[in-house]
Structure 1
Amino acid sequence: MNRKKLYKLHSILGISTGVFLVIVGLSGSLLVFGKEIDQLLNPNLWYISASKERLSIDVLRAKLKQELPSHALAGWLLSEKQNQPDQVWLHFLDSKDRKESIILLNPYTGKILGILSENRSDSFYSWMLKLHYSLLMGSFGYLLTTLFGVIFIFQGFSGMILYRSIWQNLFRLRTRQSLRTFFRIFINW
């Protein structure tokens, strides 16, 4: 393949895959703050009014057994903040696949604020994660994302070949020029 055709292919692939990069970049940036965004979108689940004292774990456990009788406790995350609920992981024994859920529990009253699926598929975070990894297209989206990854590897190699002179000048130390030029380039490097 000659240089002109490689340049044309490199340009076309770069422009056509730019939209994918924007989608993945923005969704990835939002995923960094996904749990905080979830909390902002559902304040009734994630924020409580703090009382003077928390109920003991034994009392909270008894209230959970009373409201959700057929379950096994898998984990309990005590909230570090006074205005946020505890997160309790439960396996529901009455379901055939013993699905795991996250219970948001008010530690001051023992009231269940909400039940989330373990993979948080019912939240903004999960939706954004699916957009980021599979473009909301399921298995085909994973395949498409993999294809874009291969295209980007090709883009990197073809870019290094096409812009070889820039790379050569970038890493060349200019020792025959003045000391001032050498230090300016070396420090910026």
Structure 2
Amino acid sequence: MNRKKLYKLHSILGISTGVFLVIVGLSGSLLVFGKEIDQLLNPNLWYISASKERLSIDVLRAKLKQELPSHALAGWLLSEKQNQPDQVWLHFLDSKDRKESIILLNPYTGKILGILSENRSDSFYSWMLKLHYSLLMGSFGYFLTTLFGVIFIFQGFSGMILYRSIWQNLFRLRTRQSLRTFFRIFINW
């Protein structure tokens, strides 16, 4: 493939995949703050008023067993902050697929604040994650993101070939110029 055709292909692919890159970039940036955004959207689930002393794990577990008798405890994340609930992972034994859920539990009263599905399909974070990984298109979206990944790898290699003179000059050590030029380039690196 000659240089002109490679440049044209590189340009067309770059422009056409730009929209995808913006969507994935913005959704990835929002995913970094996914938990905080979920907390802002659902303050009734994520914020509690702290009492003097939290109940013991045994008491909380007994209250859970009383309210949700057909479950098995899978994990317990103690809240680091006093105004946030504990997160308890439970397997529901009465469902045929042993569905796992996350229980938001007030550690001061033992009250269940909310039940989230394990994959958080009922939250903003899950929606954003599906947008990021599959463009909300299911398995076809996974195929598209894989295809775009391969295109971006091609873009990287074709860009290095097309702009190799820039790369060569970037890493060339300029020894024949004055020391002042050398230090200016070295410090800017």
TM-score, scaled to structure 2: 0.97
CA deviation after TM superposition for structure 1 residue 3, in Å: 1.2
**CA offsets, 1:117-165, max 9 Å, x none?**
1111111111111111111111111111111111111111111111121
- Name whichever of 56-65 and 135-144 sits farther off: 56-65
- Name whichever of 107-116 and 55-64 sits farther off: 55-64
- Secondary structure at the aligned position of 2:102 is classed as strand
CA deviation after TM superposition for structure 1 residue 75, in Å: 1.2
CA RMSD of aligned residues (A): 0.9
- Secondary structure at the aligned position of 2:103 is classed as strand
| 1:11-50 matches, cutoff 5 A | 11-50=11-50
CA deviation after TM superposition for structure 1 residue 174, in Å: 0.8
Aligned equivalent of 1:127: 127
* Percentage of identical aligned residues: 99
Extract unaligned runs of 5+ from structure 1: none
| Structure-1 separation of matches of 2:95 and 2:49 | 33
| Structure-2 separation of matches of 1:61 and 1:165 | 66
- Name whichever of 72-81 and 18-27 sits farther off: 72-81
Aligned equivalent of 1:139: 139
- Secondary structure at the aligned position of 2:159 is classed as helix
**CA offsets, 1:54-79, max 9 Å, x none?**
12222211111111111111111111
- Secondary structure at the aligned position of 1:79 is classed as coil
- Secondary structure at the aligned position of 2:176 is classed as coil
- Secondary structure at the aligned position of 2:13 is classed as helix
| Structure-2 separation of matches of 1:170 and 1:134 | 37
CA deviation after TM superposition for structure 1 residue 18, in Å: 0.6
Extract unaligned runs of 5+ from structure 2: none
- Name whichever of 37-46 and 155-164 sits farther off: 155-164
| Structure-2 separation of matches of 1:111 and 1:47 | 13
- Name whichever of 59-68 and 38-47 sits farther off: 59-68
Q: Does 1:156 align with 2:160?
A: no
| Structure-2 separation of matches of 1:57 and 1:2 | 69
CA deviation after TM superposition for structure 1 residue 188, in Å: 1.4
| Structure-2 separation of matches of 1:86 and 1:163 | 54
| Structure-1 separation of matches of 2:89 and 2:14 | 45
| Structure-1 separation of matches of 2:172 and 2:135 | 42
| Structure-1 separation of matches of 2:163 and 2:107 | 61
| Structure-2 separation of matches of 1:84 and 1:57 | 16
- Secondary structure at the aligned position of 2:154 is classed as helix
| Structure-2 separation of matches of 1:137 and 1:99 | 23
| Structure-2 separation of matches of 1:56 and 1:161 | 64
